[in-house]
Structure 1
Amino acid sequence: MLSISSEVKKNDHGDSFLKGTFILAIAGIVVKVIGSLNWIFVSRVLGGEGIGLYQMAFPIYLLALSVSTAGVPVAISIITAEKVALKDILGAKRIFRISMAVMAVTGAIFSLATYFGAGWLIEYRFIRDPRAYYSVAALAPAIFFVTILASSRGFLQGWQRMTPTAVSQIVEQIFRVITMVLFANLFLPRGLEFAAAGASFGAFAGAVTGLIVLVYYHWQLERDIRREYGDHLEEKGKRESSFTIVKRIFALALPVSASSVMLPIVANLDLMIVPARLEVAGYTVGQATELFGYLTGMAVPLINLATLLTASLAISIVPAISEAKALGDKLRVYQQTSAAMRITYLISFPAFAIVFMLDTPISQLIYNAANAGPTVSVLSMSIVLLGIHQVTTGVLQGLGHTTIPMINMIIAAVAKVALNWIMVANPNFGILGAAWATVADIGIAAVINMYFLHKYVGYGVDIKQITKNILATAAMSGIMYIAYLEIFSSLASNTLATLGAILAGSIVYFLVLILLGGMNERDIERIPMVGKFIIKLLQRVGAFKA
């Protein structure tokens, strides 16, 4: 574990947050893999009807959670990072105590509201099947603990410690899965509704175990504080009132919460608009449902998976930028922003090439649905744009401008709704119209974010770097096309052919980028854990001088 001083002072062109990005990305992959296995096991126990009961309750839980916790980790991370940067350790601790008290009250309110409101949701037919009542009730206690969990993670992220978040996420998911499978089996003899409720209780078990993990990391942080500063700490600067702190937490968190709530709102608008407009275009109800599944159930999750690294980068950059801003170091803010955007380009361009060039093979490999290929192909256009949007949002939030990304999302969502209405009903577009509307949605938000990034940081698009990325991506695309069609597809299964083409293309991308000067030894050295090993390997093949 790094000492506090080394974590705080580390600022060379984004190194301090790159390690956190890597840690969060690995955790995200592990959590997704465990989650995928979970649905296999739970589906076998509950069957389609039981999963349906669970899914009726889960959106209520997510909505309550979005309102009660979304934005809280970001807000606490920003304020804590500012205090730590100024070495106001007592002030940082006070932020944590106040935020925990506020979030405990908030979590309790939403938890009780969900529990006692379950009957009302059934009575007024917001939930159509009365049997889902037990699942809603079982999910209610988890809201309180997940709210506390969010506050705790935000505080530790403010210290630029991402390992606690990563480890707690993995432990939370493991115990959630174990509890879901165990309790679903245990209560199945009593009826399907009780089995679904047993599975829902997994959220509570996961949150509690995740919180226990964070208690250990808080103890570790306290130990490091005593080692670095001793037992005699003084609060620096003017002491803020509790009301002022709470007011600032909510001022920073509410726009982020509103942005998070926008996602399910837009998803529900898609649900209302896209299938109906597909029917106008001439598709049957069954065909419209199938096409909508290709978009929302296959293409969108694949794009989210492709941008997992940039999503992690967006989380890591927030406290790093907040720290630099608190110190009044504008140059450091610019350097970290530039480093984050450079990493975004390095990651998102090859991700786009993989999904775009191998749209149908990947759809067949992951979903066993080759027909989803065209939709995946169009939506792949959003990968670079989404990466830019995620990271620019993180920078703006780190600067304290949390309202700007929210407004940008609203503007982009309005454009998406309009395009969905117009394009999806056109038989020449159909579901591809909805995919293009999603690309436009993300693109508009990303472009407006870039404008404000230039305004507040002075960062502009690095045309020279992007040109090198595009040339390397073009070479990568050509190699993948040849490798898949001309070499691997005739010799191996679709799975091996797809993986082989991706590996060949990725090697070519990075080699071409190195030859063009778009990636240097310093860039590679920054890669956590494996950077130095890769440099030695490249030195052996003559790419770099030993």
Structure 2
Amino acid sequence: MNRFLKGAMILTIAGIIVKIIGAFSKVLIARILGGEGIGLYMMAYPIYQIIVSISAAGIPVAISIMIAEKLANRDIRGVQQVFNVSLRVITLVGIVFSVGLYASAEWLIKWHIITDPRALIPIQLLSPAIIVVTILSCFRGYFQGFQYMVPTGTSQVFEQIFRVGSMVGLAYYFIDSGLHLAAGGATFATFPGVLAGLIVLIYFYRSQRNLRQQMLTEQNETAPIETNGTVIKRLFALAIPVSMANIMLPMVSLIDTFIVPKRLMDIGYYLHEATTQFGYLTGMATSLIGLPIILTTALASSLVPAVSEAYAMGNNRRIIERASTAMKIANLFAIPACIGLCVLATPISQLIYATPNAGPVIAVISLSIIFLGWQQITAGILQGLGRTVIPMMSIFVGLMVKAVLDYQLTGTSELGINGAAWATNLNFAIAALINIIFVKRHVGSVICCMNLLKIIISAMAMGGATQVTYMFLIDMIGNGASVAVAIIVALAVYVLSLWITKAIVKDDIYQMPVIGKRLRKRQAEENRIYEEEY
């Protein structure tokens, strides 16, 4: 259990560092390229993201599942076979997609799919990164299968550092030579970023050489031998649904893009007003809900191999324990994040975006934090069980409902842009509910209703204290300081409420990585001293 939580903690810390570096880079690159240069950059980069989602997003999950199953059966030769075969196949896939992107760049311009011809170079310079990122995904899946998340987390940080450093440096160097070259330099920076991440992973892989040799001595000779074709077939059977699910998530923004502005104009908004409201939703509110789910994303990634290992051993009890722990941790963070963001929506909008107008839509969409967290955790459980199609289908159903609700609710004058936010909430809620139903069917219930109620009560007490603190201080110390103090008070009240309601107990703290080990050691020492004295 501690290994699973330690992995989640490592990925969470790495995710936070990556987010901070990314936020810093957006400010610098915007100042160098300006709005027009950023526009050229954004014409190219989303294409890369879609291709990576298709070619590489499902690979780490698929490989981690297969390797975790082999390790559970002590099939060490099978582990190496999965990795070696996957690496060769995925490298070939990366080459195909890389060449395909480079060759199709002129066609995208010619047929006006990309409207600005200056985006040609930025698109073409992204192609080399695709080969590297597919290989990188294979190594990440290998280590995640061992539930060893240090290489993945470290590579993510190095990848971001080198990408951001190269992006700023190349954009600044080429800015005097032409905006299209500067934007091209910014997109090419993805290559040194992923290359740095890959080098880190290769270092960790080589450093495990002796461990792999030692593990071969423990090989289970009765483990069945699979053909390379069987491994490839299983790899794609697991990876393709995960990749499709990753493509579908950006579809939320795409649906909003196609429907929301037009429906706002249908109910009387002028074009610039509709665009502004759309910006409040997609550029401000949606960005904020991405921060709290760093933890649930990490938990889901760590949960996949942990569940796969237990499933391969036929240990349903361990699956429920790990899944229930992940869901409890997700609730402990997601529910207060939702309530806190809802209560302070307008002050936070004013503090971060220098406008209070995004506050109402931020308050509504904050509910997505909880539902998206549940969707991610339950998807991780189902993927660990090898049932990768279910999360894909649940997201697809949610997206269909969102498209209908976007049209209906946004076109209601009483709701407007808030209607689109409610559509997003219901999208993730439906996807989460479908996943929960199938998780209960396959392994049992992973949500303790009594504990969930205690967390909600604690979070509501926190929300009340936050609101009172902010309202009391706003006239005395201003918005920014009031928000900061209110958050500090919120944390204190929440932790105290959790302890009073017994939503968290001493055993929960003992399970925490690093801290839990030290507390257990300290408790054992105190018990020893007590026994010696009495």
TM bin (shorter chain) = over 0.9
Change (3 A) 1:235 1:500: farther
1:328 match: secondary structure: coil
Per-residue deviation, residues 30-67 of structure 1 (Å, max 9, x unmatched): 11111111111112221111111111111111111111
The aligned residue for residue 158 of structure 2 is 171
The aligned residue for residue 490 of structure 1 is 475
Q: Aligned pair 1:456/2:442, yes or no?
A: yes
The structural deviation recorded for 1:530 is: 4.0
The structural deviation recorded for 1:365 is: 2.0
Per-residue deviation, residues 187-233 of structure 1 (Å, max 9, x unmatched): 2222111111111110001011110000111122223333x436685
Q: Could you tell which deviates more after superposition, 261-270 or 461-470?
A: 261-270
Looking at structure 1, the residues matched to 201 and 481 of structure 2 have their Cα atoms a distance apart, in angstroms, of 40
Give 1:306's aligned amino acid: P
Give 1:516's aligned amino acid: T
Give 2:177's aligned amino acid: R
The structural deviation recorded for 1:111 is: 0.3
2:133 match: secondary structure: helix
Looking at structure 1, the residues matched to 184 and 383 of structure 2 have their Cα atoms a distance apart, in angstroms, of 37
The structural deviation recorded for 1:533 is: 7.5
The aligned residue for residue 424 of structure 1 is 410
Q: Could you tell which deviates more after superposition, 324-333 or 508-517?
A: 508-517
Would the aligned equivalents of 2:349 and 2:359 in 1 still touch at CA under 8 Å?
A: yes
Q: Aligned pair 1:332/2:318, yes or no?
A: yes
Match of 1:264 among 250, 261, 281: 250
Q: Aligned pair 1:122/2:109, yes or no?
A: yes
Q: Aligned pair 1:517/2:502, yes or no?
A: yes
The structural deviation recorded for 1:309 is: 0.7
Q: Aligned pair 1:435/2:438, yes or no?
A: no
- Runs of 5+ in structure 2 lacking a partner? 524-534
Match of 1:343 among 295, 306, 329: 329
1:489 match: secondary structure: helix
Match of 1:444 among 424, 427, 430: 430
Looking at structure 2, the residues matched to 46 and 235 of structure 1 have their Cα atoms a distance apart, in angstroms, of 60
The structural deviation recorded for 1:527 is: 2.8
Q: Aligned pair 1:162/2:159, yes or no?
A: no
The aligned residue for residue 354 of structure 2 is 368
Q: Could you tell which deviates more after superposition, 502-511 or 405-414?
A: 502-511
- Runs of 5+ in structure 1 lacking a partner? 1-13, 539-546
Q: Could you tell which deviates more after superposition, 415-424 or 380-389?
A: 380-389
TM-score norm. by structure 2 comes to 0.95
The aligned residue for residue 286 of structure 1 is 272
Per-residue deviation, residues 149-190 of structure 1 (Å, max 9, x unmatched): 111101100000111111101100100011111111222222
Looking at structure 2, the residues matched to 530 and 331 of structure 1 have their Cα atoms a distance apart, in angstroms, of 25
Looking at structure 2, the residues matched to 133 and 126 of structure 1 have their Cα atoms a distance apart, in angstroms, of 12
Looking at structure 1, the residues matched to 333 and 27 of structure 2 have their Cα atoms a distance apart, in angstroms, of 30
Would the aligned equivalents of 1:91 and 1:236 in 2 still touch at CA under 8 Å?
A: no
The aligned residue for residue 487 of structure 2 is 502
The aligned residue for residue 200 of structure 1 is 187
Looking at structure 1, the residues matched to 85 and 480 of structure 2 have their Cα atoms a distance apart, in angstroms, of 52
Looking at structure 1, the residues matched to 221 and 278 of structure 2 have their Cα atoms a distance apart, in angstroms, of 56
Moved over 6 A (4+): 532-538
Give 2:115's aligned amino acid: R
Would the aligned equivalents of 1:138 and 1:200 in 2 still touch at CA under 8 Å?
A: yes
Match of 1:95 among 74, 82, 92: 82
Q: Could you tell which deviates more after superposition, 471-480 or 393-402?
A: 471-480
The aligned residue for residue 43 of structure 1 is 30
Match of 2:71 among 77, 80, 84: 84
Per-residue deviation, residues 327-378 of structure 1 (Å, max 9, x unmatched): 1111111111111111121111111121111111111222222111100000
Change (3 A) 1:263 1:460: closer
* 1:393-432 aligned within 5 A: 393-432=379-418
Would the aligned equivalents of 2:74 and 2:218 in 1 still touch at CA under 8 Å?
A: no
The aligned residue for residue 204 of structure 2 is 217
Looking at structure 1, the residues matched to 426 and 346 of structure 2 have their Cα atoms a distance apart, in angstroms, of 22
Give 1:300's aligned amino acid: T
Q: Aligned pair 1:469/2:460, yes or no?
A: no
The structural deviation recorded for 1:320 is: 0.2
The structural deviation recorded for 1:288 is: 0.7
Give 2:211's aligned amino acid: D
Would the aligned equivalents of 1:90 and 1:235 in 2 still touch at CA under 8 Å?
A: no
Looking at structure 2, the residues matched to 369 and 324 of structure 1 have their Cα atoms a distance apart, in angstroms, of 49
Q: Could you tell which deviates more after superposition, 490-499 or 335-344?
A: 490-499
Give 1:118's aligned amino acid: A
Looking at structure 2, the residues matched to 333 and 30 of structure 1 have their Cα atoms a distance apart, in angstroms, of 30
Would the aligned equivalents of 2:284 and 2:353 in 1 still touch at CA under 8 Å?
A: yes
Looking at structure 1, the residues matched to 340 and 364 of structure 2 have their Cα atoms a distance apart, in angstroms, of 13
- The count of corresponding residues between Structure 1 and Structure 2 is 524
Give 2:187's aligned amino acid: S
Q: CA RMSD in A?
A: 1.9
Change (3 A) 1:175 1:38: same
Q: Aligned pair 1:354/2:354, yes or no?
A: no
Give 1:485's aligned amino acid: M
2:125 match: secondary structure: helix
Looking at structure 1, the residues matched to 516 and 267 of structure 2 have their Cα atoms a distance apart, in angstroms, of 52
Per-residue deviation, residues 312-333 of structure 1 (Å, max 9, x unmatched): 1011100000000011111111
Per-residue deviation, residues 401-459 of structure 1 (Å, max 9, x unmatched): 10001111111111111111111111101000000000000101111111011100111
The aligned residue for residue 4 of structure 2 is 17
Give 1:499's aligned amino acid: A
Give 2:502's aligned amino acid: G
Change (3 A) 1:244 1:430: same
Give 2:357's aligned amino acid: N
TM-score norm. by structure 1 comes to 0.93
Looking at structure 1, the residues matched to 23 and 501 of structure 2 have their Cα atoms a distance apart, in angstroms, of 39
The aligned residue for residue 249 of structure 1 is 235
The structural deviation recorded for 1:460 is: 5.2
The structural deviation recorded for 1:235 is: 5.8
2:413 match: secondary structure: coil
Q: Could you tell which deviates more after superposition, 44-53 or 240-249?
A: 44-53
Looking at structure 2, the residues matched to 242 and 51 of structure 1 have their Cα atoms a distance apart, in angstroms, of 45
Change (3 A) 1:288 1:344: same
Would the aligned equivalents of 1:83 and 1:91 in 2 still touch at CA under 8 Å?
A: yes
Q: Could you tell which deviates more after superposition, 133-142 or 32-41?
A: 32-41
Looking at structure 2, the residues matched to 128 and 112 of structure 1 have their Cα atoms a distance apart, in angstroms, of 22
Looking at structure 2, the residues matched to 376 and 97 of structure 1 have their Cα atoms a distance apart, in angstroms, of 46
Change (3 A) 1:131 1:509: same
The structural deviation recorded for 1:131 is: 0.7
Looking at structure 1, the residues matched to 318 and 219 of structure 2 have their Cα atoms a distance apart, in angstroms, of 28
Looking at structure 1, the residues matched to 354 and 370 of structure 2 have their Cα atoms a distance apart, in angstroms, of 26
Looking at structure 1, the residues matched to 437 and 345 of structure 2 have their Cα atoms a distance apart, in angstroms, of 32
The structural deviation recorded for 1:255 is: 0.6
Give 1:250's aligned amino acid: F
Q: Aligned pair 1:73/2:60, yes or no?
A: yes
1:371 match: secondary structure: coil
Looking at structure 2, the residues matched to 493 and 530 of structure 1 have their Cα atoms a distance apart, in angstroms, of 37
Give 2:477's aligned amino acid: A
Give 1:263's aligned amino acid: L
